[in-house]
Homo-oligomer: A and B are copies of this chain.
Amino acid sequence: MCEASAYLIEGEETKLVMEAVDTVEPEDDGLKLISIFGDQKFLKARIRSLFLVDHKILLEEIKSSE
């Protein structure tokens, strides 16, 4: 299975926000993550980079001033 873990980068810190992510859908003011178990999470974040072979999705916060 090729699900990935999603991490949110906040300044110097990198926080795991969801494991086993299957689907990622960017929306106007953030993005929706859906895991292989059907769990959903909406985050005010954008994709910074994907490393699929390493099963990693790196996200960064969308600041309200943007």
A positions within 8 Å CB-CB of B: 1-4, 21-26, 36, 46-53, 55, 57
**Bound-complex Cα distance A57 to B38 (A):** 19
Query: Would A22 and B2 count as touching, CB distance under 8 A?
Result: no
Dominant secondary structure of chain A at its interface with chain B? strand
Name 12 A/B residue pairs within 8 A (Cβ), A-sorted: A2-B2, A2-B4, A4-B52, A22-B51, A23-B49, A23-B52, A24-B47, A24-B49, A26-B46, A26-B49, A36-B53, A52-B52
A37 CB to nearest chain B CB (Å) = 12
A2 CB to nearest chain B CB (Å) = 4
**Bound-complex Cα distance A25 to B21 (A):** 18
